[in-house]
Chain A
C-alpha cells in the first residue's frame, strides 16, 4: 500500500512569490492533516480535512495560507505571498475514519523563502 506522498520535496522561492504544496493521502483515508515545523520549534497543527470539508483550520497562521481538498482526495496548501517566516518543513498526514488517531505522515516539503 502506498504511503502519504508530498510534492515537491523541496522548494526555494523568493519573498513575495507563491508556492503550492501538494499532499496525496493514503487511499481511503478521509482525514487529512497539514502540519508545519519551523526550525528549532515543535511540529504545529495547521488544519484538518474530513473528506473535502475543513474540520478545523484553527492552526492556519494567517490569510496568506489557503488549503483545499477538492473531491476529497489530494490536498493543496498554497502560500501567497510567501514571507521569510514561512520557511520550514510542511508535513501532511492522513488517517482512516475508524482509527483516526493513527496518523501516517508524508515525507514533508522543505520550504525555504529567501
Chain B
C-alpha cells in the first residue's frame, strides 16, 4: 500500500462545476500537508498548505482530518485553466521527508 493514496481520475468536469479531490495517508507521524499542482511536462508548484482548521484561497478550499488521516481539496467554479494534475503531499520526519501521492488528473471543459 502506498503511503499517500489518491484517486488518479481523470475527473472530467464542465466549466463552472465544483470538484472535490480526496487523499489518504497511512503514516500517523505525518506532520504537514500540502496540495501541489502540476501542469503537463512542468514542475510541481505549491497550491496551498492544508490545516485541520481548513483553509481557503479564492476558489480553493483544503481540509485535513487527522483522525481519519484524510485530506481534501475543493475547487469551486472550475476554470479551463484549472486543468492539471493535483498532487497530495505529506511531510514527516521533522518536515524533511516529503511523500507525494501519484496525483489526480483534472480536465475542465468548455
Measuring CB to CB, which residues of chain A are less than 8 angstroms from any residue of chain B? 31, 33, 35, 41-45, 48, 55-56, 91, 100-108
What is the distance, in angstroms, from A92's C-beta to the closest C-beta of chain B? 9
Interface residues of B in 15-39 (CB under 8 A from A): 32, 34
B91 at the interface (CB under 8 A from A): yes
Pairwise interchain contact B101-A42, C-beta atoms closer than 8 A: yes
Whether the pair A45, B97 counts as a contact (CB closer than 8 A) is yes
Chain B residues 81 to 103 lying within 8 A of chain A, measured CB to CB, are 87, 91, 93, 95-103
Whether the Cβ atoms of B100 and A42 lie closer than 8 Å is yes
For residue A56, which residues in chain B have a CB less than 8 angstroms away from its CB?
Answer: 93, 96-97
Q: Is the CB of B43 within 8 A of A100?
A: no
SS class of chain B's interface: helix, strand, loop or mixed?
strand
13 A/B residue pairs, CB under 8 Å, sorted by A: A43-B44, A44-B100, A45-B98, A45-B99, A56-B97, A100-B95, A100-B96, A102-B46, A103-B98, A105-B43, A106-B43, A107-B42, A108-B43
CB <8 Å contact, B91 and A101: yes
**How far, in whole Å, are A84 and B2 apart by their CA atoms in the complex?**
24
B102 close to A91 (CB less than 8 A): no
In contact, B91 and A105 (Cβ under 8 angstroms): no
Q: Does B66 contact A (CB under 8 A)?
A: no
Inter-chain contact A42/B2, CB cutoff 8 Å:
yes
Instruction: Give chain A's interface secondary structure class.
Output: strand
A103: contacting residue among B46, B93, B103, CB under 8 A: B46
Nearest-CB residue, chain A, relative to B34:
A101
CB of B84, distance to nearest CB on chain A (Å): 14
Distance (whole angstroms) from the CB of A42 to the closest CB of chain B? 4
CB distance from B98 to the nearest CB of A (A): 6
State whether the Cβ of B59 lies closer than 8 Å to any Cβ in chain A. no
Distance in Å from the Cβ of A101 to the closest Cβ of chain B? 5
Q: Which residues of A contact B42 (CB under 8 A)?
A: 107
In the assembled complex, how far is the CB of residue B91 from the closest CB belonging to chain A, in whole angstroms?
Answer: 6
Contact of B98 with A105 in the complex, beta carbons under 8 Å: no
Q: How far is the CA of A108 from the CA of B42 in the complex (A)?
A: 8
Q: Give the nearest-CB partner of B93 in chain A.
A: A56
